[in-house]
Amino acid sequence: MTKNKNNFSIYWIYAILGVGLIAFQLFMGKKDHSSVKIQSLLEIADESGVKNVVIINEKSVEFQLNSNGVDFVKKSDNKDLKDIAKTIKGSKESDKTNIVFEIKQVDQTYLSQKLDDKGITVEYEERIDYFGTILSYLLPFVIIIAIWIFVMRRMSGGGASGGGQIFNIGKSKARVYENGKTTNVTFSDVAGLEGAKEEIVEIVEFLKNPSKYTELGAKIPKGALLVGPPGTGKTLLAKAVAGEAKVPFFSLSGSDFVEMFVGVGASRVRDLFKQAKEKSPAIIFIDEIDAIGRARGKNNGFNSNDERENTLNQLLTEMDGFGTNSGVIILAATNRADVLDGALMRAGRFDRQIYVDMPDLNERKEIFEVHLKPLKLEKDLDVDFLSKQTPGFSGADIANLCNEAALIAARNDKKQVEKQDFLDAVDRIVGGLEKKNKIITPSEKKAIAFHEAGHATVSWLLEHAHPLVKVTIVPRGQSLGAAWYLPEERSITTTEQILDEMCSALGGRAAEELIFGKISTGALSDLEKVTKQAYAMVSIYGLNERIGNISYFDSRGADMFTKPYSDDRARVIDEEVSKMIEKQYERALDLLSKNKEKLTDLANKLLSNEVIFKEDLELIFGKREWEAEQKESKEKLSTQEEEKLSLVEPVESVDDHTEVKREEKKSQEKKPPSSNTEEINEEDLND
């Protein structure tokens, strides 16, 4: 068992000493002093009851009473003298004439004259309070130093381990998991990441059983870099490693190295690796490493402080420098691998780059099964259906979807989460919050209905457009109407497919022009999407005949502020983009003109019901002929693949060759930019 750390702070000692000094100053020399008024002194002096009078520092007066003064005070009816009598009464008989009474802030000239008239001698005395004088000088400095220490502690991490004190500002702020301390996350909690999980598990197994690998001459990987879009499970994998590994695990973020003081980042890197080496074998996990790992030498003019570069240089040296670094494995995660420095990405530092992609259909099903466990579900809930309804969703999106469905069910006072709750949750996440109380005029509502009906009509009549799920004119989020589609999960996209999607997106504006003879601003998101697709086709994917097989895309982002083509070529690109978009717009107009009556019926039905589904379009347009053909071709392909698999016997050389081909395919698939691919392959919301 680990011993509990002593949380006692030395600042408590400082506080006690300070209070003690102040108390000593306040109460020092205050024995038997009672404050009275000057008139009381003069009354007692008239009765010859004053023993002696001393004026101190020409400011205050101290005097004592004799036996006559004590008797006079006891017999007097004066209120002020009664207070003096009370003081005397509480004293011993032998001390009654030794009590010192004090008068503060008096006119010593006036008092001396009055007492001389009464025949009483006045003495003068100068007293110096050395302790109070010293304390009055020291106390402001003590307060200033205390405030300075407090501020510096807050600036350096607020008392966190390793960085809480000003003198420990260069210490690492990593959280350490060891001696049975875990994150309570295991590999069983990670679903849908089989490829990435396999490589991560291998690193953990190497630490647990190194002889299995070292007997064959293998060396443990020095580092693994997890790359992928946000929400795909990179940090979750690292948490699983911390939960499974039986070695010390250091976890921190890339921003933990960044500080306002120069040299702190590099110092923290040195301290981190020093701690890890002392406890080796160990694992270091740096989340969001792009905070310190950005490529050096870019845009130095915009940043005069090179603190981040110094931190990166120190990290590079520690990972694979002149010194030895045995027994320390580096895990890192980022969704911006394109901005990382080339020296950081080389073998010997990060030997493995594990790409954590968006989950496919089967992986989404596995993720759903993990997140559905804590929910109270209806019987026979179709998980396959849920996974088909969520293309393009990440693991984090699915977790949010399950939670949102449970909240919707609770809002409707249900005892269990049903299928409809999940569909409502999808609508809530994709489209936004439903706004039924939004004020819309009848003319606007009619325009919205025909706009959405135009999208639905064109997408239904085109072969390669995404299948329609639902159309609504109920305002959601920032949109006044929406059309939901179910995108096909494609590995590649052809020119015909992109053009059909562009035509479908322009169907809304085309319907407005056809029916009303005028257009509105409601097609903003459609135009934005279509423009991005057109520019991607022409300048990135090489899908334009005039431009040819040329791509101006730079995956490393080296030419951020410069164009890789001339002004003449830029004008040609703009012309081709404009021509392509206008052609698809005319195509949409032509389709809607031929089916104007069906478009009107669909819009009227949408106006009356506010929401229409795929079944409503089938009643008006009939079933799509391409869906049956696609279904037959898929079934035929699946049966052919099964037959091939049954005939093929496992041969070692064939498996190796297949694996090589698979790796080549993966590397080819990584080349297109993820953002543009998503724009082309996914169509969630049109308005």
Q: What are the catalytic residues?
A: 452
The gap from C-alpha 54 to its chain's centroid, in whole angstroms, comes to 73
Alpha-carbon gap, residue 72 to 94, rounded angstroms: 17
Q: Is the distance from CB of 40 to CB of 73 less than 8 angstroms?
A: no
Alpha-carbon gap, residue 47 to 211, rounded angstroms: 107
Measured in residues, the chain has a length of 687
Q: Which residues, other chains included, contact 402 with Cβ-Cβ below 8 Å and sequence gap of 6+?
A: 368, 371, 372, 375, 422, 425
| C-alpha neighbours within 13 Å on the C-beta side of residue 584 | 30
Alpha-carbon gap, residue 197 to 468, rounded angstroms: 35
Alpha-carbon gap, residue 528 to 524, rounded angstroms: 6
Alpha-carbon gap, residue 371 to 399, rounded angstroms: 6
Alpha-carbon gap, residue 345 to 680, rounded angstroms: 29
Q: Is the distance from CB of 320 to CB of 222 less than 8 angstroms?
A: yes
Listed residue (145, 142, 173) closest to 157, CA to CA: 173
Residue 373's alpha-carbon distances to 389, 399, 403, in angstroms, are 19, 11, 12
Is 679 strand, coil or helix?
helix
Residue 442's alpha-carbon distances to 453, 456, 478, in angstroms, are 16, 21, 19
Alpha-carbon gap, residue 533 to 323, rounded angstroms: 50
Q: Is the distance from CB of 296 to CB of 309 less than 8 angstroms?
A: yes
> How many degrees, rounded to 5, is the angle at CA 232 between CA 229 and CA 233?
130
DSSP-derived letter for residue 157 is T
For residue 224, the surrounding DSSP H or E stretch is strand 223-227
Report the interhelical angle of 507-516 vs 495-505 (nearest 10°): 40
